[in-house]
Amino acid sequence: MPAETILVIGSANVDMIVKSESLPRPGETVIGGTFATVPGGKGANQAVAVARLGKRATLLACVGDDEFGNSLRATYEREGIDTRLVQTIAQTHTGVAFILVDACGENMISVALGANAKFTPDRLKALEDLAVSPRWVLLQLEIPRPTVEAAVQWAKERGARVILDPAPAPAAGGLPDSLLRLVDIMTPNGVEAGALVGHEVTSADQAVAAGRTLVERGAGEVIVTLGERGGVGVSPSGDWRYAAPKVQAVDSTAAGDCFAGALAVALSEGASTREAADFAARAAAVSVTRIGAQSSLPRRDEIPRQ
């Protein structure tokens, strides 16, 4: 397998999306809207983002032995993703995400993990069987935490650089410092950054403070994404901010996955972290103008220039 591949280790889902004028409150039923079924899952989304931006992507993920699993594998192959590490789990359903989207593009998501929950550390053995040699490894938190930790350790032992998108937001207690010390770049959004440091992150100043805390705990660099307000980057040498293009948001699903995938692509091409974040922000801005997860991810020629 070529060294220039970007390896994505993570989840694979089918997304079922309902778009309505507003999101329901607890106990409320909202009538109206449109429905769509599209491929999703944070790991698979990132792999598709990488592939559509012109880089070779290898996906290590688990699907169920059902129609959804077969459909997802075929989808990844059409995208040009190396699927030899996509594993089918017997007597298990493929992960499913139920996504509600309002007229402003805000969303609520509930996930039935299915095969993703059975993505145990022993399944990383497939990496050895295929002699994968990546320079960049992308990870998220939609698979079991022990698997994430084992995958990060595997990557660092082989000299790869790790980008961790800590999504979904970790539960109280965040992530251990032993894991943070092995991560080169973290890409939390404001909610996720808040969960990691134990306080609210809604402003750029709060994002910088959260980033500094995570760097002090061991993370190499931290980019906190703040949606339409851009985001901030923090490293041991200082902090900086980037802007987001002004667009009419339709659906923010997979915007973070698009950002992480685009960031890895730009970094693999020699961009600085700041340059890569700018490119990733422009890619993510395109994604929020479209409905769905993988259906929203842009190709290279669709990303506006600075």
**Per-residue pLDDT reduced to its tens digit, 29-59:** 998 888 989 899 999 999 999 999 999 999 9
Task: Classify residue 23 as left (phi > 0), alpha (psi -120 to 50) or beta.
Answer: beta
* Token pair recorded at residue 203: 């402003």
pLDDT tens, residue by residue, 290-300? 988 898 999 99
Over residues 232-274, the pLDDT tens digits come to 999 999 999 999 999 998 888 899 999 999 999 999 999 999 9
Give the pLDDT of residue 284. Answer: 97
Mean pLDDT, residues 204-227? 97
Number of domains making up the chain: 1
Rounded to an integer, the average pLDDT of 92-114 is 90
| Non-local CB neighbours of 226 within 8 Å, separated by 6+ positions | 189, 190, 204, 207, 232, 244
Cα–Cα distances (Å) from 193 to 25, 97, 172, 188, 251, in that order, read 25, 23, 12, 5, 21
Residue 306 lies in a domain: no
State the DSSP string of 122-155: GGGHHHHHTT---SEEEE-SSS-HHHHHHHHHHH
For range 4-29, the mean pLDDT: 93
In a domain, 41, yes or no: yes
224 assigned to some structural domain: yes
In a domain, residue 1? The reply is: no
- Supply the residues annotated as catalytic: 257
**Burial class of residue 121 (count of CB atoms within 10 Å of its CB; 0-12, 13-18, 19+):** middle
Domain hosting 161: range is 6-300
> pTM here?
0.92
pLDDT above 50: residue 26: yes
Residue 172 has a pLDDT of 65
Lookup: tokens for 130: 């295929």
**CATH number of the domain to which 112 belongs:** 3.40.1190.20
Amino acid at 92: T
